[in-house]
Structure 1
Amino acid sequence: MAIAKLTEAERAALVSLNGWAHDASRDALVKHFKFRDFSEAWGFMNRVALLAEKHDHHPEWSNVYNRVEILLTTHDAGGLSARDVAMAKAIDAL
């Protein structure tokens, strides 16, 4: 079954996501995280990796010292889907 992109009504609800921004050029959710040091950032990335496996939905991300940037988009849908919103909420719950 194909994964559907978010409807306009679902996209309007994205404003309720804590700190996630819509990157229109990629039709993705993006969030920047800052931690005390590299070890804390790496630990966070490990926890996100376990979530990604559980959700079978893997982020695009980068890490520089104490900063982590996460980008969520559903390639199979060609943009944002409910999977991205669920993953963003799961990441925030960490």
Structure 2
Amino acid sequence: MSKLSEQDIEKRLLHLPEWDYYDDAIHAEFEFENFKDCFSAMSRIAFECEALNHHPDWSNTYNVLTISLSTHSEHGVTDKDFALAKAIEAIVEPEDED
């Protein structure tokens, strides 16, 4: 797995508007209604992280979850980071079912 170019990262971020690129990582912050909802999302995300064998740098303060994704072995952002970001998006912002 190789590090993505800054141009490729910016192009991919067009599909992930909640995410920003800086400091060789992609970052997002999600606000929930309360701590329980935030922690519940973190628990669901943890299962995805294990399934993908890729783990975020993250923190939570009450109802806010802050996430940074990079592939440490590549010293930057790779396909693994975008795969995890998409999985996180599906958990924290599920599409409305008709």
State the match for 2:16 in structure 1: 17
Q: Which runs of 4+ in 1 moved over 3 A?
A: none
Which residue of the other structure, out of 31, 36, 47, is the alignment partner of 1:34? Answer: 31
Equivalent pairs, count: 90
**SS of residue paired to 1:46:** helix
TM-score by length of structure 1 reads 0.89
Distance, in Å, in 2 between the alignment partners of 1:65 and 1:13 is 30
Cα RMSD after superposing both structures: 1.2
Task: Please state how far the C-alpha of 1:83 moved relative to its aligned partner.
Answer: 0.4
Q: Report the equivalent of 2:96.
A: none
1:62 maps to which residue?
A: 59
**Match status 1:90 vs 2:87:** yes
Give the letter aligned to residue 7 of structure 1: S
Could you tell me how far 1:13 is from its partner in structure 2?
Answer: 2.5
Tell me the CA shift for residue 18 of structure 1: 2.9
Structure 1 residue ranges without an equivalent (≥5): none
